[in-house]
Structure 1
Amino acid sequence: MEKVVKRKAIKAVVSACLVSGLLAPLDIPKIGKAKASETYEITVSPIPKSLEKTDKGFPLNPKVGLVTETGTDPAAVAELKQALKEAGVTTVVESNIKNPMLQAPVIIWLGEFSDPDEMKIIQQYTGLQDLEMTKKEGYIVASKHGTNNKKHIVISGHDETGTYYGTQTFEQIMVERKGTDWIPEVEIKDWPTMPIRGSIEGFYGAPWSHEDRLRQLAFYGKHKMNSYIYAPKDDPYHRERWKEPYPVGKIAELAQLVKTAKENHVTFTFAISPGNTITYSSESDLKALIDKAQAMWDIGVRSFALYLDDIDPSLHSPEDRAMFGGDPNPPAAAQAYLLNRFNEEFIKKHSGAERLITVPTDYYQAGTTPYRKRFAELVQSDIIVQWTGIGVVAPTITSQDADKIHGIFKHDLLIWDNYPVNDFDRNRLFLAPLTGRDSDLTPEHGVIGLTANPMNEAEASKIPLFTVADYMWNPEAYDPADSLKRSLKEFAGAAFEPLNLFVEASYATSLNNNREPVSERVKPLIEQFWTAAEAKDFQAVTAAGEALLQEFARMKQAPKQLREKVANPNFLKEVDGYLNKLELYGQAGEAAVHMVLAQQNGDTAEAAAQRLELKQSLTALDKIPQKLSIGVVPTFLERALNGKNLAEGKTAAASSSEVSWLTPDLAVDGNNNTRWASLYSDNQWISVDLGKVYSIDKVKLYWEAAYGKQYKIQVSKDGNQWTDVYTELNSNGGTDEIQFPAVEARYVKMQGIKRASDWGYSLYEFSVFESQN
């Protein structure tokens, strides 16, 4: 098992000052060999509610005094001692606040210190007066020169978790230097905005490994996340075989997870999803649920969830139909009956159990339904309802949405945020920061917290989860771009630049309107290049080509740099296919530019050699299923090889759009990461107006998963009278390259005949090419 190293989240030497309005560079002279002119900038993540500093500070001494109280959180003590050891401290003299030993040059006070007499002792020696923290999970970190030439550090939490979080923040303000670290003089008061902040392993596909989960729990504790929900859809004992007890070996693993979660101040929630096979009225099924929960209770689980999402709500058993069939909404009545009985007969009979959590079957809809209305009326008021926002993957979640849904369910809402989950698009990574969530999703709007559903790739998920943790702790100060920058510096500081490029190439999501930073940077260079090439301006095309070559060189080199500099083999294994693809895109891009430059220069031999290399790179690219969000690069390579796509940038129309943001123009925008999608019926179409009549003989369709099994390609000169030029009766999706005899046309249409799935038709790109004969 890989050892989890919990070192400073972000050392104080990071290059950006990130607590806006509260934090500025500390002009602290370094001691010893360091130059006195050097300054430091301290960064705390998540960003604290309040941070004040002076230009003073002091070095840690190899000998430090540690004053605690009876019952100080053991995890906080262990965390602090490890941090001190790594900071150069060799001796820690421990004492209790009832009889403090203050002989060391630096004294650290660690605990809750809720006793007024204890607080007076700290105030007397440190000179710090305002040390009261009343917020749950809140903490204070203060460092100051005190009496008798002593230096003092106070880490005081409202509760054990707050004390633990205080040690996490203290680690981040320590300034690394030779010898022992430097401690800037600061006063930090901090507490979370969201009561519940965490992650739900709730995706479809291969669940995380046991080692993945252990590393995740350490990550959550380090980033002040306090919740983990165990609900992997493809764990058979969670869903399909929920009645069966876990094997002994699996129970042992779960027990270790529960223990590790507790050490990291993370609540471990065990979820069961019985809805596909349960008989709601059955006493034996209820007993099976209780027995399953009891086995988890026996290994330390104190939080439970019963999930009813992604099921057919119909009552499949005669017993249920007999018992609930006369209710205004039988599925809601049956589910409420089960939830309430489990709540009464298990949760409320176990002292120390957390509130029961559920996901209703109607969990993402925009408005009320008969099911929701009845569910709200019948389910006991203390049960927490999870909600994804409006939509399964909600582009935005607003406090106005929360007010509306809270008004429908009339229960506390816990957001199940389906970001950065990628089980619906398994060959994509979503590494962008969390966006589109209001800063006031709080209990005042019915929201008691948020759990993010990560990707199947556990290590890669940490990059966006860092930003989720930032948002949940202090949404008022959350800046997505700033948070992502800190995430990357923590994840792989030595490889920040190539990692940033890789993240930019895995960035586009519905949350950020499919923004592609790489494409945004490269697209104007591509446009300049083609404009100069068409004008046969050799000097201009050479200059534009050089700029493009620099971008493609970065793509080609970044994977090698990441493999050399990122000391995380699990991450590198997870993203291997994506790195291979990025490298090949860079290689293909270089070949395409060199080919066009050689053509412009009349060097036919070099152009032929580069064309061959481009074709070979494209063949290799086609064999890699993973996708990157750099959609303008494939269309650039396509144009270099096959000529100009006449449809790009032209006017498109369609019979329908599935939703308002999947419009036909996205199929002709030169970006194969954006797409058009139709409504869910067979007789749908998309057409493009080429602007004038051309002689055309080829169309390429770049299908999304919702492809056309049968369709026609039709052409027209006037947009009214259409002629069939091709009929496909058995497409298998992917990319359809369609050649037909040259024909004069201004308008080109894909007319659907039969869909391949229950969805509609969806195209990333609809390309049309002029005849070369």
Structure 2
Amino acid sequence: LILDYPSIPVRGVVEGFYYEPWSWEDRKSIIKFLATVKMNAYIYAPKDDPYHREKWREKYPLEYMGKFKELVQVSKENFVEFIFAISPGLSVKYSNEEDLETLIRKIMEIKMIGVNWFAVFLDDIPNRLIHEDDKAKFKTLAEAQAYFLNRLYEKLKEIDPEIQLFMCPTEYRGTEPTSYLIELGEKLNRNIGIMWTGPQVCSRTISREAAGKISETLKRKLWIWDNYPVNDYARDWLNLGPIKGREKGLEEYVEALFSNPMNEAEASKVAIATIADYTWNTEDYDPKRGWDNSLNIVVGPRCAPYIKTLARLLGLSTLWPEYSEIVEELLRAVRENDITTLKRLFKSMLEVAAFLQTNLSNSKLLLEIKPYTSKLRNYAQAGLILLDALTCKEKDAAWKLLKSAWDLINLSESLSKRIGEIPQFVQTEGRTFPSVQPLKEALYLLSEKACTGRGWPFKKPLVYTNVRRWIDGRTPFNAIDGLCDTGFKWFYNLRKDDYIELDLRREEEIYKILFVQGEQNVTHDFIPLYEISVSTNGRNWRKIGEFCSSTLELSLQDIKARYVRVKSLKDYECKPYVRIFKACAWKAPRVETTASIARGCLENLFDGDLTTFVELVNVRAGDYLEIDAEREIKAMTIFQDTELQMVLGEIQAFMNNEWVTVDLIDSPYWEGEASSKKLRIV
């Protein structure tokens, strides 16, 4: 006799995330997958379906109804309960009979195609009564919602006693009984289930004690809305790690648990399978074993180790981030000049990207992870090239290698996804940003070693931001590339305390800060009021001042810092565009040119960052770039693009009141001596 039954009776997925919803084919695939991992329920509730939320009073178009029929049929074939949810809370009048009848008609429209389970979601709405009629009839929001839902339940049961109903409350998280939850628990029909996300919106832990307290408050077992692996708050990360932090025996207070997944449906299956494992047997669940099993189910045993490596390079998850052993070993090898280990590690990263590209049979999953594997491949190739630059004996050849490596790194930075960074999720702000960028730091250290060993500078800053999301291709890195025709563009409206921060990687004396905002022909795309602060340790900040200019060139005296931060001081309905953010840790000479500047700025010539540049166009014979320094220049090194270089030019020095040719320049790399305060490249 074999007894095998689930700990939690109702187990499944709630498609309840914001932004890009799943396709209809994604939904079919997920429903079939739920059956594979012994889950039995799917909730249709995409926040960006207008007929689910903003237009809830309107009937679904025929095209939608046809798709719903297909989903319901797939659900029945796979013994998965299709649950239809609706979110009327933004505009519903709880006291209004017409709104109640409208909602019933909407539900009955879906019931006609074979659906018997329904949900009313009242989450993410104002936590107060907003209509005058409701204020006149009810004392509290909880009273109004209980009244409305009780009447809905009674009318639905009159139509069909088999109908099931549950709801998501406006206060759906926390561990303490609030007046809202107490009243809702008392007044809402006991047969209507109530959802709860745990102690937080995205809960790292859900304990029996916390669940028991809320269950007692609501006077019924809980329906858990588990916000994992959802990543709508961190669209540049994938949550590929297993579910953790769910205590054994939770079923004592829980009768249903739904995973809120990622916008990436196929990638979500890895975590969903571990949640299925937990909900089937909470006592026996082990995250490591569950993860291994889920990877074998989703991608098969051949690809599982490579997806696991990719997951670790992604920091595993935003809720339970882990430092990748590969990156740890990489940083150690860089610091110890262990070339053999570095080559092995970079090659192993290349192998991950190449193996998955060749062997992963799930084409949709391959498409979802492609931005991450592409970025990993570029980083790894850049690392191998930097190792060649490190050991190269010829300076001109080393410069070409360095330039080639940074072309790949720049290409990676145009991809709006993160890999080799450790996510830090700030629950109270709903923000996720990297706490550290170890893979990029390793590439910086290698670049620095390749440069400083030859007497070249390398003052490339790291850039950090807490901005939740940006436009694809317009990443924070664009703000430090020294180019005015690229930029960092917010995806959402500006929020108070949004910031962009430079890490100069060591304490420097800062002479000037450049901060240039605004896209050409676009209005109101800049931070209107911001604060500039500096820090030596990233914790204690010294305020420099408040500013409102879209173009700021701020000269400083006696300022030493490693970090420079620009922070918004208020919310504003705009999507800022930052073109240039530069902390000048040098006293630049006066520079002028008779040629036209196509890209970049003259400050790039002396910023110690060999990855920034100025591009001159329509250069004619006799055009020059002149440098006028405060003191005599003893030697000079010129780095040019390895493809867009000057064919033939002269280095001239101003001596005895005339310009004298010192040398010819006909290659991307030139170095030589000079003894003058004024020099020209002609």
TM-score over 0.5 (shorter chain)? yes
* Mapping of residues 129-168 of structure 1, within 5 Å: 131=1, 140=2
> Are positions 1:745 and 2:579 aligned together?
no
What one-letter code is carried by the residue in structure 2 that aligns with 1:392? V
Q: CA deviation at 1:342?
A: 0.7
Which of 331, 349, 356 pairs up with 1:526? 331
Which of 231, 234, 239 pairs up with 1:422? 231
> Are positions 1:604 and 2:424 aligned together?
no
What one-letter code is carried by the residue in structure 2 that aligns with 1:458? A
* Mapping of residues 56-205 of structure 1, within 5 Å: 131=1, 140=2, 189-205=3-19
Structure 1 unaligned regions, length at least 5: 1-130, 132-139, 141-188, 533-540, 649-679, 702-706, 759-765
> Are positions 1:233 and 2:47 aligned together?
yes
Q: Distance in 2 between matches of 1:499 and 1:449?
A: 30
Residue-by-residue CA offset, 1:470-526 (whole Å, 9 max, x unaligned): 1111122212122222222222333233322222223443431x2132xx3322431
Equivalent residue, structure 2, for 1:316: 130
Distance 1:562 1:510, change over 3 A: closer
Which of 303, 313, 328 pairs up with 1:495? 303
Equivalent residue, structure 2, for 1:272: 86
Distance 1:633 1:730, change over 3 A: farther
Equivalent residue, structure 2, for 1:619: 410
Q: CA deviation at 1:625?
A: 0.7
Equivalent residue, structure 1, for 2:178: 369
> Are positions 1:509 and 2:317 aligned together?
yes
Q: CA deviation at 1:455?
A: 0.7
Q: What's the TM-score, normalizing by structure 2?
A: 0.68
Equivalent residue, structure 2, for 1:452: 259
* Mapping of residues 232-251 of structure 1, within 5 Å: 232-251=46-65
Distance 1:413 1:725, change over 3 A: closer
> Are positions 1:545 and 2:311 aligned together?
no
> Are positions 1:634 and 2:449 aligned together?
no
What one-letter code is carried by the residue in structure 2 that aligns with 1:337? Y
Equivalent residue, structure 1, for 2:532: 712
Q: Is the 8 A contact 1:713 1:727 kept in 2?
A: no
Equivalent residue, structure 2, for 1:62: none
Distance 1:373 1:710, change over 3 A: same
Which of 468, 478, 488 pairs up with 2:285? 478
Q: CA deviation at 1:266?
A: 1.1
Q: What's the TM-score, normalizing by structure 1?
A: 0.61
What one-letter code is carried by the residue in structure 1 that aligns with 2:274? T
Q: Distance in 2 between matches of 1:218 and 1:634?
A: 39
Q: Is the 8 A contact 1:714 1:725 kept in 2?
A: no
Structure 2 unaligned regions, length at least 5: 422-436, 449-456, 463-494, 516-526, 574-580, 587-606, 609-682
Q: CA deviation at 1:636?
A: 2.1
Q: Is the 8 A contact 2:240 2:317 kept in 1?
A: no
Equivalent residue, structure 1, for 2:145: 335
Which of 366, 372, 376 pairs up with 1:572? 366
Q: Distance in 1 between matches of 2:112 and 2:378?
A: 52
Which of 163, 173, 177 pairs up with 1:353? 163
Q: Distance in 2 between matches of 1:459 and 1:684?
A: 33
What one-letter code is carried by the residue in structure 1 that aligns with 2:310? F
Q: CA deviation at 1:546?
A: 2.0
Q: Distance in 1 between matches of 2:362 and 2:160?
A: 41
The worse-fitting range, judged by mean Cα deviation, of 738-747 and 370-379 is 738-747
Residue-by-residue CA offset, 1:413-437 (whole Å, 9 max, x unaligned): 1110011111112222111111111
Q: Distance in 2 between matches of 1:526 and 1:298?
A: 61
Q: Distance in 2 between matches of 1:546 and 1:698?
A: 41
Which of 363, 378, 393 pairs up with 1:584? 378
Q: Distance in 1 between matches of 2:369 and 2:505?
A: 39
Identity of aligned residues (%): 33
What one-letter code is carried by the residue in structure 2 that aligns with 1:375? L
What secondary structure is seen at the aligned counterpart in 1 of 2:195?
A: strand
The worse-fitting range, judged by mean Cα deviation, of 203-212 and 217-226 is 203-212
What one-letter code is carried by the residue in structure 2 that aligns with 1:238? H
The RMSD of aligned alpha carbons is 3.9
What secondary structure is seen at the aligned counterpart in 1 of 2:569?
A: strand
Q: Distance in 2 between matches of 1:721 and 1:367?
A: 35
Q: Distance in 1 between matches of 2:201 and 2:318?
A: 11
Q: Is the 8 A contact 2:528 2:549 kept in 1?
A: no
Query: What is the count of residue pairs matched by the alignment?
Result: 518
What one-letter code is carried by the residue in structure 2 that aligns with 1:474? N
The worse-fitting range, judged by mean Cα deviation, of 468-477 and 301-310 is 468-477
Distance 1:260 1:334, change over 3 A: same
What secondary structure is seen at the aligned counterpart in 2 of 1:476?
A: coil
What one-letter code is carried by the residue in structure 2 that aligns with 1:213? R
Equivalent residue, structure 1, for 2:569: 754
Q: CA deviation at 1:729?
A: 4.5
What one-letter code is carried by the residue in structure 1 that aligns with 2:157? I
Q: CA deviation at 1:248?
A: 2.2
Q: CA deviation at 1:336?
A: 1.0
What secondary structure is seen at the aligned counterpart in 1 of 2:109?
A: helix
Q: Distance in 2 between matches of 1:318 and 1:199?
A: 37
What secondary structure is seen at the aligned counterpart in 2 of 1:511?
A: coil
Q: Is the 8 A contact 1:645 1:767 kept in 2?
A: no
Q: Distance in 2 between matches of 1:708 and 1:482?
A: 51
What secondary structure is seen at the aligned counterpart in 2 of 1:346?
A: helix
Equivalent residue, structure 2, for 1:465: 272
What one-letter code is carried by the residue in structure 1 that aligns with 2:127? P
Q: Distance in 2 between matches of 1:597 and 1:503?
A: 32
Distance 1:426 1:641, change over 3 A: same
Q: CA deviation at 1:529?
A: 2.1
What secondary structure is seen at the aligned counterpart in 2 of 1:575?
A: helix
> Are positions 1:558 and 2:344 aligned together?
no
Q: Distance in 2 between matches of 1:683 and 1:507?
A: 23
Equivalent residue, structure 1, for 2:636: none
Equivalent residue, structure 2, for 1:75: none
Distance 1:554 1:767, change over 3 A: farther
The worse-fitting range, judged by mean Cα deviation, of 492-501 and 228-237 is 492-501
Q: CA deviation at 1:334?
A: 1.2
Q: Distance in 2 between matches of 1:741 and 1:546?
A: 44
Q: Distance in 1 between matches of 2:28 and 2:543?
A: 61
Residue-by-residue CA offset, 1:580-616 (whole Å, 9 max, x unaligned): 1121121222223333343xxx442342122111220
Distance 1:400 1:348, change over 3 A: farther
Distance 1:725 1:596, change over 3 A: farther
Q: Distance in 2 between matches of 1:720 and 1:251?
A: 57
> Are positions 1:344 and 2:138 aligned together?
no
Q: CA deviation at 1:726?
A: 10
Distance 1:448 1:424, change over 3 A: same
Q: Is the 8 A contact 1:522 1:548 kept in 2?
A: no
What one-letter code is carried by the residue in structure 2 that aligns with 1:527? R
Q: CA deviation at 1:439?
A: 1.5
